[in-house]
Structure 1
Amino acid sequence: MSHDPIIRIENLTFSYPRMTRPVLEDIRLAIEPGEWVILTGANSSGKTTLGKCMNGLVPYSTGGKFRGRVTVCGDNTLHKNVSELAVSAGFVFPNPEDQLATPLVEDEIAFGLCNIGTPRDEIFRRIASVTNRLGIQDLRSKATFRLSTGQQQLIAIASSLVMQTPVLILDDPLSHLNQSTSEKVIRTVRDLNAAGTSIVWISPDLSETFEFADRILLLDQGRIAFNGTPRQMIHELDLRSLPVIAPQFLECSFALVETGLTAEIIQPSLEETIDKLRRVVGRKQQAPEIPPKADSRAAAEPMVRFTHVDFRYPNGVDALDDINLEFYPGDFILLSGWNGSGKTTLAKHINGLLRPTEGTVFLGGRDIKGVPTSELARKVGFLFQNPDHQLHKATVREELAFSLRNFRVPEDRITEKIERISEQFNLKELLDRSPQELSGSEKKKVTVASVLIYDPAIVIFDEATANLDGKETKNIIRIIEEYHNENRVIISISHGIRMWAESTRLNRVIIMKAGRVADTGQPERILCDPEIMGYLNGKLLPVTQIARSLSDRGCSPLLFSTAQLVEEIRKTENHRAAAQ
C-alpha cells in the first residue's frame, strides 16, 4: 500500500456541546488507499462520531469542541465545507430517514451527482449500474417514503455508491437488510474496494465482514483499544468478552476450546475453522436420525388467527395475499423474509394499526373488525422499527408511564414498575432526560421497556436489536426470553436470524415472501433447510455448515445454535474417549 495515507487523524479529541467528557480522546490513525477498515465497539463508544469526523459532519453539523487534525485526500476537514468533502468521502447513515431528502427514488440517487454538476448521461449510467448491482431497478420510479425501511436503506447506500468517492464510510449499513440483500451490498462494496476505494465499515457486528477486513479498530470510551488484523484480533482478544457481535463460527471455536479442544481451531474464516475441526474431532458412526418434535399446541386455542387475509395499501400496492396463520400461547416466533415481503404489514394487523382489505383477523376468538386500536393495545404490544416513530413524551420517565396511565394503573404502581424496569434495562440515569437527546441504542432500549412495562399478552418486536452492540443485543433478547411464558406470544420481526437462533426459547419460524407465508415450522426444519435458507439467508448459518461438515463424525446436521453444536461435539468426543 501507499505510504501516503488517504485519511490521517492526529491527536483528535472531540466533545459534543454541553458534554463535559470527550466522546473521542487522543485518536491517532492512518488509513491507506484501498484499505478496508472495520471500526467497531460498544454503543456510544465513539464509532459514528469518528466516522463523521472523517467527512466533516463533525464538527460542522454538530458544533462542539474539536482539537487535533483530520485530513482526507490531503484536505484538512476544518478548511473545507461538508459539500466539498462529500466528493472525497461518502457517508451512509445507519437510519435511512436521516439521509433521504427527495420524494422519488431516482431523484434521491441522483441528488449528489446533480449537486456536483455531473453530466446527465453519466448520471443515468451510474444510476443504472448501481441499481442493477443492488437489485433495486424496480424501485427507481417509487416514492422513497412509501418503501420499507430496508428498501430505504438500499436507496441510501445507492446514493453514496454512485458518487464514486475514493473513501466510502458506511455506518451499520446492513442493520435493516435481509441477509441475501446484505450479501449484494457486501459484494458491491468488495468490488469497489478491489478497484481501490478505501472502506471504513462502522458496526458492532463483525459477522459479515470480518473475513474481508484488512484491519479492525476497537473503540472503548472514545479511545482506540485495539488496532490490528482479524488474525491478530482472534489471538490477542477473547471476542466473547467484547461488546461486539462476533462471527458465529468464532463463538463456536472459543466455546469449544473451553471444553478442552485445541486452540488451533480458532481461525479467522469459516473454511479454515471447518478444516481444523475435521482434523480434531474424532470419527465415529453416522449421526442417528432425530425425529421431529411433537407439536404440543394441537389442543390449544389460538390467541390470533388470520383467515384469508389480503391487504392493499391506498397507493395500490398489494402487500398481503391470502394469509392463513394461527398464533398459539407459548409461541416464541422469528418472523423473517426479504425487505418488502410483508412482515411488518402482517404484524400491524394484529393490533389494528392496519385492517384487512379482505379476510378476517381474530384475537382470542373475536373478530377485531371495528375494535378500536386503543382497546387492542391492552393485549398487543408493538415495538416500531424506528424508535423515533414511538417516542413522543418529554422525558423517559413519562414515556415509560404513558401506557400505564392510559390503562389507569394507580400512580404508586406506576412508580414501582418504572423503578423495576429501569433497573432491568439500565435506564435509571436516563429517566429525566428527553428521549430525543438519547443515542439510537438508548432510544431502542426505552421503546422495548415501554412496551414490556404494561405486560401485554402478545408482543411484537420489529427489529428489536437493530443497531445494538453485541452486549446490548444479548441483553435485550435475554429480557424478552424472561418475559415470555406459556401464556404469552412473542413475535420477533428480524433479519438478524443468527442472533435469534441462539435463543433457547425460539420454537417457531415464519418466512414471508412477496406478501405470502412461504413456510412456517419448527426452527430445526426451517433454519437447517438449504433451500429455505438459501432464499432467506443466502446460505446456511455457520453452525449448520460446521455440523453438516462433521456429520460423518457423529454430529447431527440439524443444528443452528452455538450451544447445540458445542454440546454435540462434546458428546462426540466423550463417546470417542469412552471407546478407546
Structure 2
Amino acid sequence: MDAIQVTDLTYHYPDAHKASLQNVSCNIGKGTFTVLMGETGAGKSTLLMSLNGVIPKMMEGTQTGDVKLEGQSIQPYRVQTITEYVGLVMQDAESQILGRTVEEDVMFGPRNYLVPREEIIQRVKDSLKRVRLQGFEKREATSLSGGEKQRLTVASILALNPQILLLDEPTSELDPLGREEIYETIDDLRKNSDITMLVVEHSSEDICEKAEHLLIMQNGKLTWEGKPQDFFRDMDLVTQNGIKPITVSAIGWQLMEAGLIAREEIPLTVEDAARLIRGLIKNQPVPLPPKREPRNSNTLIKVEDLTFGYGKDNLIIDQMNLEIQQGDFVAIIGQNGAGKTTLAKQLNGLLTPISGKIIIDGKDVTGKKPEELAYIIGYVFQNPDHQIFSTTVYNEVLFGLKLAKLPQDEIDQRIEEVLEFTNLKEFKNIHPFSMGKGERQKLAVASILALKPKILVVDEPTTGQDWKGIQVMMEMMKTLNEQGTTIIMITHDMDVVSRYANHVILMNDGEILMEGSPEEVLAETEILRQASVTTTQTVRLCKELGIPVYLDRSQLAESIINLTNGKRA
C-alpha cells in the first residue's frame, strides 16, 4: 500500500490570482525516499503543508481533491491528530525550535500529546541518538550550528514517532558540513527504520544518488515523476523545468551531442564520469585550460593586523592581513562560524575592530560609522528582509538618496537607472513583501546601488534561491563588476565561486587558511576539507582523472571532444 495518495488536489490561497496547486495527483510508496523539486513558487511547500493538514485546516483558502494516508482520507481529522503521523521539518529551523535547551525542545511535542513521562525520556534519548545529537541534551538550542539546529528539528519531529517525514529544503541555508550532516541523518533513518520521506530540495547533486523517486513541479502542476536518473539524463527536460543540471551529467550531455556516447551512458556521479572519460581519451594528455586575466595591481582595500572579538578571551579574528584589488570579484568561503560575515562587517563599520587598520582607497576608515561608509562600500544582507522597511519599492530605493540630500532630479534619475538595471520597474509602486524573495533580494541590491558605492558586499546572494534566481542574481553581480564595481561575495556555493570569482579567500576559525585564484584554491581539496568545504564536481572529476584542473565544465567537455576528434575508439 502507498503511504501517500494525492488525488486531483487543487488549492487557492485567499486573493490569489491562480491556484497554487492545480489538479496534483501522485502516489508515494511506503518506506521510500522521494524528492520534490521545482522553481521557487512552483507549489512545493504548499503541497507539503497539504499533506499534514495545515492546508486548509489552519490557513484560509479553497481546496478540492483529496489526500489519503495509507488509504485513509485526512479530511475528517484535526491537524493535531495528523501531525502525530506526518511530521514536517520546515526550511527555517529556528522558527521551529521552541525549547530553551536541546532536551526541552525534543520533549515539547510528546508533552503536548500527554505521553507518559518515562516514555518521553526514552523518546528524547532515542530521537537524539538517531540524529547523532546524544550528549547535547543540556546545550542551549541557540548555541547550536546551523546543521545542528536542523538536526534538532528532525529529532523533535521523530520524538512523535511519525510514519511519514516531510522536509522542506532542509539544507538550503547550511554550509557543506551542515548539508552533509543532514543527509547522513537521512541515510541513517532509512537504514534503521521504514519511515517514508518526502524532501523538497534544490541541490541536484545531493539527491540523485539517494532518492528512489523524483517529483517535479512547475506553476502548481506536477510536470514529471519517475526515477531521478531518467530525469537528469535528459538535459532538455531539466532545462524546461528550471532545475540545475548535475555537472557531470551536463558534461555527458555535451559528449552525447558530439556523438561520443549514448544517452544511457550519461554519468550521474563523478566516479561514473571518470570511468567513462578514461575510456574515451585513452591516457592522452589533456591540454591546460585557458588562462584567466591577471588581477589589477591597484589595491583598493587593505586590512592590517585586524583583531575583533567579544573581549580578549573570545577573539573571532586575530591579527588578520588582507588586500583586495580594484575591480576584484572576491569570494569569501568557509563553514558557518568561520568569521566571513564578521570580517565583512568590519569593512563597512557595522562592527568596530579591537585593533588594526582598515584602509579603503588609500584612506584609513577604521572606526568610521556605517552611514559615513555607505557611499564607498554597500552591504547586502543574507536575508533581504532585514534591510527592507518601506511600503513601496520606490520608497525603499529613495530612502538612502534622501539621506544623501541629493537634488530631486538626480534622485529621480538614479532610481530610474537602478530599477531598470535590476528589472524592478514594473514593481515600482508595489509593497516589497508582496514580491518573491528573489525580487526582494534585487530590491536590497537596488537600494544600495543607488548610492553608487565603489565596493559591494553581498552575503550569501544565492541562499534559498532556485537555479533561475541564482543565475539572475549572479549575472547582475557580473555586470556590475564589469562596469567597475569591486564585488565581495560571501558564499557556500562553489559552482558560483568557480564561475564568477577571480580571487578566493578561504577562512577557518577566524583565520585566512588560503587565498588565490579559484583554480588554485578549489584544487586544494585537502585544505578545503580542513575548513569543511567541498569543491565542485568539475574539479573533483579533474582530480580523479589526474588532469589539469578545469573550472568550466563546457571547456572540459570541449577538450575531451577535441582529443577524440569527435570519434569513439
* Map of 1:132 onto structure 2: 132
Aligned counterpart in structure 2 of residue 562 of structure 1, from 553, 559, 565: 553
* Map of 1:547 onto structure 2: 542
Aligned-pair distance for 1:531?
0.2
Alignment check: 8 A CA contact 2:505 2:516 kept: yes
Alignment check: 8 A CA contact 2:339 2:509 kept: yes
- Alignment of 1:344 with 2:341, yes or no, is yes
RMSD over equivalenced CA pairs, Å: 3.0
Matches within 5 A, 1:188-227: 188-194=185-191, 195-227=193-225
* Map of 1:266 onto structure 2: 266
* Map of 1:386 onto structure 2: 383
Distance 1:567 1:152, change over 3 A: same
Aligned-pair distance for 1:541?
2.3
Matches within 5 A, 1:483-498: 483-485=480-482, 487-498=484-495
Q: Distance in 1 between the 2:542 and 2:247 partners?
A: 13
Alignment check: 8 A CA contact 1:528 1:559 kept: no
Q: Distance in 1 between the 2:514 and 2:545 partners?
A: 27
* Map of 2:529 onto structure 1: 534
DSSP-derived class of the 1:532 partner: helix
Q: Distance in 2 between the 1:294 and 1:435 partners?
A: 39
- Alignment of 1:323 with 2:284, yes or no, is no
DSSP-derived class of the 1:526 partner: helix
Matches within 5 A, 1:469-488: 469-485=466-482, 487-488=484-485
DSSP-derived class of the 1:59 partner: helix
Q: Distance in 2 between the 1:484 and 1:508 partners?
A: 13
Structure 1 runs not aligned, ≥5 long: none
Q: Distance in 2 between the 1:489 and 1:163 partners?
A: 50
Matches within 5 A, 1:37-76: 37-73=34-70, 76=73
Aligned counterpart in structure 1 of residue 12 of structure 2, from 11, 15, 34: 15
* Map of 2:504 onto structure 1: 509
Aligned counterpart in structure 1 of residue 392 of structure 2, from 386, 389, 395: 395
Aligned-pair distance for 1:481?
0.5
TM-score using structure 2 length: 0.89
Question: Over residues 380-404 of structure 1, what are the superposed CA-to-partner deviations in whole Å (9 max), with x where a residue is unaligned?
Answer: 1111112221111112222233223
* Map of 2:459 onto structure 1: 462
Distance 1:448 1:113, change over 3 A: farther
Matches within 5 A, 1:128-527: 128-130=128-130, 132=132, 141-142=139-140, 144=142, 152-194=149-191, 195-236=193-234, 238=236, 239-264=238-263, 265-279=265-279, 281-287=280-286, 296-297=295-296, 299-301=297-299, 303-313=300-310, 317-485=314-482, 487-503=484-500, 506-527=501-522
Distance 1:188 1:385, change over 3 A: same
Question: Over residues 2-36 of structure 1, what are the superposed CA-to-partner deviations in whole Å (9 max), with x where a residue is unaligned?
Answer: xx221111111101111131111101111111111
Q: Distance in 1 between the 2:259 and 2:467 partners?
A: 25
Q: Distance in 1 between the 2:557 and 2:129 partners?
A: 44
How many residues are paired up? 562
Question: Over residues 46-97 of structure 1, what are the superposed CA-to-partner deviations in whole Å (9 max), with x where a residue is unaligned?
Answer: 1111111112222233311111112335554433333332222222222334
Q: Distance in 1 between the 2:137 and 2:559 partners?
A: 45
DSSP-derived class of the 1:569 partner: helix
Structure 2 runs not aligned, ≥5 long: none
Distance 1:333 1:159, change over 3 A: farther
Q: Distance in 2 between the 1:91 and 1:453 partners?
A: 41
Alignment check: 8 A CA contact 2:350 2:369 kept: no
Letter in 2 for 1:234: F
Letter in 2 for 1:222: G
Alignment check: 8 A CA contact 1:94 1:171 kept: yes
DSSP-derived class of the 2:55 partner: helix
DSSP-derived class of the 2:206 partner: coil
Aligned-pair distance for 1:560?
2.7
Letter in 2 for 1:573: T
Higher mean alpha-carbon deviation, 439-448 vs 452-461, is at 439-448
Letter in 1 for 2:553: T
* Map of 1:88 onto structure 2: 85
